[in-house]
Structure 1
Amino acid sequence: MDWLPVSSPPAILAALSGIGAFFFWLERRTGWRLFHYLPPLIFIYLTPVVLSNSGVLPTASPVYDQMSRLVLPMMLVLLLLKVNIGGAVRVLGRGVGVMLFGTLGVMVGAPIGLLLVKPWLGPDAWKAFGVLAGSWIGGTGNMAAVSEMIDAGGAEFGLAVLGDSTIYVIWLPILLGSKKFADRFARFSGVEPERLERMEAAIAAERVEARPPGTADLLSLLCVAFAAMAAAEFIATLLPEFQPYLSAGTWRILLITTIGIGLSFTPLSRLPGSHELGMALVYLFVARMGAMAEIDRAASQAVPFLIGSAVWIFIHGAFCLLGAKLLRVDVHTAAIASAANIGGAASASVVASHHQESLVPASILMALMGYAVGNFAAYFTALLCWWVSG
C-alpha cells in the first residue's frame, strides 16, 4: 500500500496532535510498566521521526514555523503561571537549596561531559548538550524552549531526547533505591529528625482544592497567554542583538519566561487548567521537533553523546550529595530534588510516592521551580558548551 504524504497544515497538526493523544491513551488504557521507564514523550518524538524520514510527514513546512512562533511561547506562559516560588520555599525549606545545587551540577557537568567526547561529535553537538540541559534543569517545556533559543536542529534535539530517555532509565532506579539508605544518609547529612514532620505540616497549610476549568477559565488563559506573547514580541524588537545567540527570538523567549514568572505572583495563577493546557502544547511541539529530525546525523553521534551524558549525570549527582550534606537534608528530599531536575514533575512525583507518599505535593512544587529557572540556566549552560566546543 502506498502511503500518501501529509502536507497541508491542518493535516500535519491533526497527525502530530493525534500521535500525542494516542500514546497517552495507550499508557492510560494498558497500564504497561514500559511507560514508567520510557514515557510517552519518547514515542511522541520518535513516531514523527519515522514518519518524516519515510516521506509521510514533511521535514519542513510553514506550519512548523508558525508553531515555533505561537505554540512555544504560549506553552511557556501557561506552565509558568502555576509556579509557586513562595509555597515551594515554605514547604521545602533547604530542599530548594539542594535542587539548586543539582541545577548547578547540570550546568557544570554539561561542558565537562562535552569536553570528554568532543573529538567524536559534530561541530553543533554543543546544541544537543544545551537542549538536554533544558530538560535536566526544568522539563520538556524548557527543552523545547532552549532548542529554539540556540537554533538547535532536529538532529541535535534527537540526541537530547536519546540522552534524556537513556539516562533516565539508569538514574530513576538509583533515586528509587536510595530510600534503603535513609538512616545512613541521615547520619551523613546530619538531618534533624523532625524535618519530615515540619514539611508535612507545611504541605497541609499550602493545600488548596482544585476545580475543573470552565469556558471562562480557558478563555482567560488564552487571553493571558496571547497578551504576554504580544508584550514579549514588542519589547524584543527594542532590545539589541548580540552574537552568537542573543537574537530577537532568544530575547522573546527570555522575556516570555520573565513575564510568565511575574504572572505567577498574581491572582491569575489560580486559574485552573493552565498546566494541563500547557503540557498538551509541549507534546505537540515535541512531535513537531521529531518531524523535523534528520535521523542519520543523530545516529552517527549517539554513542559518544551518551558517554558524555553519563559523566554529566554523575556530576549532577555529586552536587546533589554536596548540597544535602551542606544543608543537612534527608535522602527523600535529595532524591526528589534530583528527580525534579532530571525528570520534571512526573518523575519527581514517582520518586516522592516511593519514598514518602505525603511528599508528592512538595515534589510537584519543586519541579515547578525548575520551570522557572530552566530557560535562564539552560541557556547559560548552552553558551558554556558553545565556548568549550571551540
Structure 2
Amino acid sequence: MVHTIIQPDDTWILWAFLAGWAAVSIYLEQKYEWASKISGAIIALVGAMLLANFNVIPTDSPVYDTVWSYVVPLAIPLLLFQSNILKIWNESGRLLLMFLISAIGTVVGAIVGFFLLKDLIPVLDKVTAMMTGSYIGGSVNLAALSARFDTPGELVSSAVVADNLMMALYFLVLILIPALSFFRKRFKTPYIDELEQNSEDGNSNLAASYWKGKEISLKDIGLAVGTAFVLVAISFKLAELFGRIIPSGVDAPFLLNAISGILGDNYLMLTTITLLSVTIFSRYFERINGAHEIGTYLIYIFFVVIGVPASLPIILQNAPLLLVLVFIMVSMNMIISFVLGKIFKFNLEEVIIASNANIGGPTTAAAMAISKGWSKLVAPILIVGTLGYIIGNYIGAVIGYWFGLY
C-alpha cells in the first residue's frame, strides 16, 4: 500500500481538494489566455494526476466513488435542461455513425495488440476482451467482461490502472487537438467557429465570453438542483426495476439482453427521462437559470477525479506490458477515427467526441463537450455513448472467444 500525505479516509480534505481545484481550474481558464487555450479540464485533470503520482493524494478513496455515484448523475440532467429533442435527434445520427467508425479502430487495435503480445502476457485473450469492451463503451464494460471471462483479479487491477493512465493521457491529447492548426486546416469546425464568432468585444478568451455572468436567483438554484435530484431518483429507480424484471446474462436471448441493457442502464434512462421531461414541460425548464453553470462545475469535479487513478509507478511495478497493449489499442482508435473521419467528412468536434466516448464512455465525452463549449453535442453523445455499453459488451465477448482459440 503506497503511503500518501492525504489519506483515503480524510474525507473533508479530499472534498476540499476536489471542489477547490475544480474552482481554481475554472478561474484560471477564464482569467488567463494561456489557460483558456489548454482548457480548465486539462488543468483539473493534470493537477490531480501530478498530486497522485507524487503521493500527495491517494489513488483510491470512497470520496472518488461518491463523485461517480452522485456528482456525475446530478450533473447530467442539469446540463440537459435547455435541450431541444428534435435537434438532438438530427445530431445523434451523425454521431452514431462516427462512434461506430471509432469502434472499428478499437477492434483493429485489439487484434494488433493481441498478436504482438500474446506470448508475453498471460491470459491475454481475457484481458484484450475486457479492454475491447472498455474502449467501445467505457469502464462499465471492463467490469462486466472481467466477470464473464473470470479474469484473474491481479490482472484486472493492473488493467484498470493502465486503462486510467492511458485514458487520462489520451483525453489531454483530445482536448489539445482543437487548438492545433494541423487539425483546424483539415477538418470543418462548426462548433468552434460558432464560439469564436459569438466571442464579444474582441475577447480572445472564449471560456470567459461563453460563461459570462447572467441573472440567477435563489429560486433558480432551488428549482435546478431539486429537479435534478428528482429526475435522477426516478430514472435510477426505473432502470433498477427494468433491470430486475427483464432477463439478462449469458443464458438469456440476445434480444432480451439488448432490451435489458437499454432499459436497465442508469445513464440512458436518466438521459431519456430528462429529455422527455424537458420536451413536455419546456416552459418550466426554460425559466430556470443557472442549471448549465451548476452542472458544468460538477463536471469539473469529475475531471479532477479522472486524473487521480493514473498512477505511473503502480502500472510500471505490476504490469508494464499492459500499458503497451492499451497504448496500441488507443493509438489505433485515434488513427482510424481521424483518418476515416476526414474521408467521410465528419466535423473535428464529432471525431473527438466519438473517440472519447469509445475510450472513456458517455460521461467523459459529455464532460469534454461541456468543457469545450460544444453544448449541442452533450445530449447526443450521452445517448450514443450509452448505447456503446451494449455494443462494447458484445464485441468484447466475441473478441474474447475468438482469441481464446489461440
TM range (shorter): 0.5 to 0.7
Structure 1 pair 314/56, CA: closer, same or farther in 2 (3 Å)? closer
Change (3 A) 1:101 1:80: same
Is 1:288 matched with 2:305? yes
**Is 1:115 paired with 2:117?**
no
Alpha-carbon distance in 1 for matches of 2:65, 2:44: 19
Instruction: Describe the superposition over 1:173-222 as per-residue Cα deviations: whole angstroms up to 9, x where unpaired.
Output: 44301269xxxxxxxxxxxxxxxxxxx9xxxxxxxxx9533221221121
2:69 aligned partner: 69
State yes or no: 1:176 paired with 2:184. yes
SS in 1 for 2:350: helix
Q: Give the counterpart letter for 2:76 in structure 1.
A: L
State the distance in 1 between where 2:76 and 2:240 align: 20
Q: Closer, same or farther in 2 for the Cα pair 1:242/1:289, shift >3 Å?
A: farther
Give the structure 2 partner of residue 183 of structure 1: none
The answer to whether the aligner puts 1:388 opposite 2:380 as a matched pair is no
Q: Is residue 365 from structure 1 mapped to residue 376 from structure 2 by the alignment? A: yes
Q: 1:259 maps to which residue?
A: 273
- SS of residue in 2 equivalent to 1:83: coil
Q: 1:102 to 1:175 in 2, by over 3 A?
A: farther
In structure 2, the CA distance between the partners of 1:52 and 1:347, relative to structure 1 (3 Å rule), is closer
What is the TM-score when the length of structure 1 is the normalising length? Answer: 0.67
Structure 1 SS opposite 2:58: coil
CA distance in 1, matches of 2:50, 2:128: 22
1:218 aligned onto 2:239: no
Identity %: 20
Q: Structure 1's 346 and 291: CA in aligned 2 closer, same or farther, altered over 3 A?
A: closer
Unaligned runs of 5+ in 2: 144-158, 189-196, 198-212, 251-256, 357-364, 402-406
Task: Please report how far the alpha carbon of residue 129 of structure 1 lies from its aligned counterpart in structure 2 after TM superposition.
Answer: 5.6
Choose the corresponding residue for 1:156, options 152, 163, 170. 163
Which residue number corresponds to residue 5 of structure 1? 6
Q: TM-score, normalised by structure 2?
A: 0.65
C-alpha displacement at 1:128, in angstroms?
5.5
In the TM superposition, residue 3 of structure 1 has moved relative to its aligned partner by 8.1
CA-based RMSD of the aligned residues comes to 4.2
Number of aligned residues = 328
Q: 1:223 Cα shift?
A: 1.5
Deviations 1:10-62 (A, max 9, x none): 211111122222233223333117x63x4433342333334334443233333
Contact 2:53 2:311 in 1 (8 A): yes
Query: Residue 334 of structure 2 aligns to a residue in which SS?
Result: helix
Counterparts of 2:312 and 2:264 in 1: how far apart (Å)? 26
For the 8 Å contact 1:81–1:264, the answer to whether it is kept is: yes
Q: Relative to 1, partners in 2 of residues 1:252 and 1:346: Cα closer, same or farther, differing over 3 Å? A: closer
Please give the residue correspondences for 1:1-390 in structure 2 after superposition, counting only pairs within 5 Å. Answer: 4-6=5-7, 7-32=9-34, 36=37, 38-87=38-87, 97-118=93-114, 119-120=116-117, 124=127, 133=136, 146-148=138-140, 150-151=142-143, 153-166=160-173, 169=176, 173-178=181-186, 212-238=215-241, 239-240=243-244, 242-243=248-249, 251-266=265-280, 267=282, 268-270=284-286, 271-298=288-315, 300=320, 301-321=322-342, 323-324=344-345, 334-342=347-355, 364-377=375-388, 379-381=390-392, 383-390=394-401
Q: Secondary structure at the match of 1:213?
A: coil
Q: One-letter code of the match for 2:56? A: V
Instruction: Decide whether the 8 Å contact of 2:134 with 2:392 is kept in 1.
Output: no
Structure 1 unaligned runs (5+)?
Answer: 135-145, 181-199, 201-209, 325-332, 352-359
Matched AA of 1:286: F
Give the Cα–Cα distance (whole angstroms) in 2 for the partners of residues 3 and 158 of structure 1: 19
